[in-house]
Amino acid sequence: MPERPSVAVITDSTCDLSPEITAARNITVVPLNIHIGDETFRDQVDITTDEFMRRMDNIDALPTTSQPSVGTFEEAFLRLAANHREAVCITISSRLSGTYQSAQIAASNVSDKINVSVVDSLNASYGLGFQVLRAAELAAEGKDAATIASILLAELHRYHVIVFVETLEHLRRGGRIGKAAQMVGSLLQLRPLLRMDEGQVVPFERTRTRGKAINAIVDFATSIGNAEEIAVLYNTTPDDARDLAHRLAVLTPERDIQVIQLGPVIDTHIGPDVLGVVIKARFND
């Protein structure tokens, strides 16, 4: 096995992988952008989640987000071309962001310098993160870019994401709510559970209390039945996230459950006090 894979792995900042993990796996991360008034911040580069949530409490208009430019992806791909013959770029769902499209155009523009296979994860946050780690694993095994992309696409069904949000207002105003738009009127006074389905956010269940919502998350994770790895997602309630991870530990006794803080771009569209889980199912799913 080569010490440094000939195929580079690149993704965007919505993957919620820590800098320690990306450095250890030689994963390149291209940041999305957050716009607060006249200021623009690179996701997880110029502003952290905690800083972003503090600012959210003191502004009237919701921040907005934007995908990396084609030029930003081109620069990243060309830097990788110096030490790699190929790259695999896995992005947030194309149904949630224009990031996939930017990466595709950039890959075409630099095709004479490096071959880049762009993969639409049809997911977000650690649902994307798990796929990126899988790509790094396959690259370390010596597989080429096309093979890695093919495997990732064949395994999209392995990754299950469900989140509890206090309100749908952020998703509604950001235009990322998908089929759940039909339910906004009735859900705004409830506590909705949402899941990723074919790359978009869809309603899963409605609950009256936060406690019932957390119980529903546990029930969902249990119902998957063959979890290989689980990550708990949160943005402002780390104690709740650790408690949830403790409750789910029985499902993957051979692996610790990771507790992941969502990044500012995702937080822009879901608001505070979010909890969720990402489940990577075994191959016999």
- Could you report the per-residue pLDDT of 68-113, keeping only the tens digit for each? 999 999 999 999 999 999 999 999 999 999 999 999 999 999 999 9
The 10s digit of each residue's pLDDT in 3-42 is: 556 899 999 999 999 999 999 999 999 999 999 989 999 9
Per cent of the chain over pLDDT 90 is: 73
- What confidence score (pLDDT) does residue 168 get? 63
Number of helices (H) and strands (E), helices first, in the chain? 11, 13
The verdict on pTM exceeding 0.75 is yes
Helix (H) or strand (E) holding 197: strand 191-197
pLDDT tens, position by position, 113-136: 999 999 999 999 999 999 999 999
Please provide the average confidence, as pLDDT, over all residues in the chain. Answer: 89
Q: Is the pLDDT of residue 171 over 80?
A: no
End-to-end CA distance of the chain: 29
Give the Cβ contact number of residue 6 at 10 Å. Answer: 15
Q: Is 243 helix (H, G, I), strand (E, B) or coil?
A: helix
Please give the class, per CATH, of domain 7-32+67-154.
alpha beta
Bridge partners for 7 per DSSP: 86
Q: What share of the chain is helix, strand, coil (3-state, %, to 5)?
A: 40, 25, 30
Taking domain 158-281, whether its CATH number is 2.60.120.10 is answered by: no
**What does each C-alpha distance from 277 to 41, 160, 181, 193 come to in angstroms?**
27, 8, 22, 11
So what's the pLDDT on residue 270? 86
Taking alpha carbons only, the member of 99, 134, 162, 132 closest to residue 17 is 132
Are the C-beta atoms of residues 124 and 96 closer than 8 Å to each other? Answer: yes
Token pair of 108, please? 């075409």
46's CB contacts (< 8 A; 6+ apart) are none
As a whole number of angstroms, the distance between CA 57 and CA 60 comes to 8
Residue 75's contacts (CB-CB under 8 Å, 6 or more residues apart) are: none
Distance CA 280, CA 282 (A): 7
Q: How far is CA 35 from the centre of its chain?
A: 19
* Structure tokens belonging to residue 21: 């993990």
Domain ranges of the chain: 7-32+67-154, 158-281
Examine the pLDDT at 166 and tell me if it is beyond 60: yes
User: Is the confidence at residue 258, as pLDDT, over 90?
Assistant: yes
* CA-based R_g, the chain, Å: 18
Sheet strand arrangement including 7-12: 27-30, 7-12, 86-91, 115-120
Q: In this predicted model, what pLDDT tens digit does every residue of 36-66 receive, in sequence order?
A: 989 999 999 999 999 998 888 777 778 999 9
Query: What gap in Å lies between CA 221 and CA 159, rounded to an integer?
Result: 11
Q: Which residues contact 36 (CB under 8 A, 6 or more apart)?
A: 55, 59, 63
The residues with which 276 forms a beta bridge, in sequence order, are 163, 233
pLDDT band at residue 178 using 50, 70 and 90 as cut-offs: very low
Rounded CA-CA distance 111/24 in Å is 27
For residue 179, what pLDDT is reported?
A: 45
